[in-house]
Amino acid sequence: MRGELAGKVIIITGAARGIGGAAARLAAASGAGALFLTDRDAAPLAATAESLGDARVAVLAADLEDPAAPAAIARAAITAFGRIDGLVNSAGYTYRMGLDDATLDGWDRMQAVNARAPFFLMQQAVADMRARGAAGSIVNIQSMHAHIGLPDLAVYAASKAALQVLTRNTANAFKTCGIRVNGLNLGWVLTESEMHMQADVLGRGPGWVDETAATLPLGRLITPEEVARQIVHLLSDDSAPMTGVSIDFDQNVFGGQ
């Protein structure tokens, strides 16, 4: 067993599958004292929890579009395990919407899940840490699209750019409290939701993975497990004193040719 997270109580959102699920598995293997997992999809969330073996785990099915969800998640985590030492804002929502076809409902949903919910989850986690005079670490899953974004991902890019600013702002606000806040700007990751989006929603079919991989420097997409390794590192004391940093976790160099 790895020991990077020895004894820490960690909340992970979007834990049913993909990056959140991979982070939960690696956090358990890295010695986390307890994991509080949440997702809107109850059945796969329960399956993730069951896959963690002897780890101390509690779950809560919650939809981050609900303004009451962040407080409910934090309250349930503290009730279950007594405190919050770390938070991973992994849950996210994406859909193709640009300036020419964006809707008010789409804008509101994207901002609610990708920016509002992580902000108020950070509020809850920081409040618990400060009340105990304890250090802590928060990791926000952001996106390379926060730099500019494709034209048909304007609304998604705006929500992730908001999260990137909130990462830096929160890190700065609580830097003297031992509370570190960092983010990962992710490139193309091979998750279940991305497979559905590309193959089914965008109609590219099952061959899209190989087609896309051929255009990338490594000849493949980033895996959820690779992202999970970075998440665990940022949660751990090994990454101190780093705070307020948004790491471009991509195969390409932004701005390069």
Catalytic residues: 156
Distance CA 184, CA 230 (A): 8
Distance CA 86, CA 88 (A): 7
Measured at the alpha carbon of residue 79, what is the angle toward residues 75 and 80, in degrees to the nearest 5?
120
**Interacting residues of 36 by C-beta distance below 8 A, sequence separation 6+:** 9, 10, 11, 12, 57, 58, 59, 60, 73, 76, 77, 80, 81
Asked whether the beta carbons of 30 and 88 are under 8 A apart, the reply is: no
Distance CA 51, CA 59 (A): 13
- Let me know how long the chain is: 257
For residue 67, give Cα distances in angstroms to 41, 75, 112, 118, 198: 17, 14, 8, 11, 30
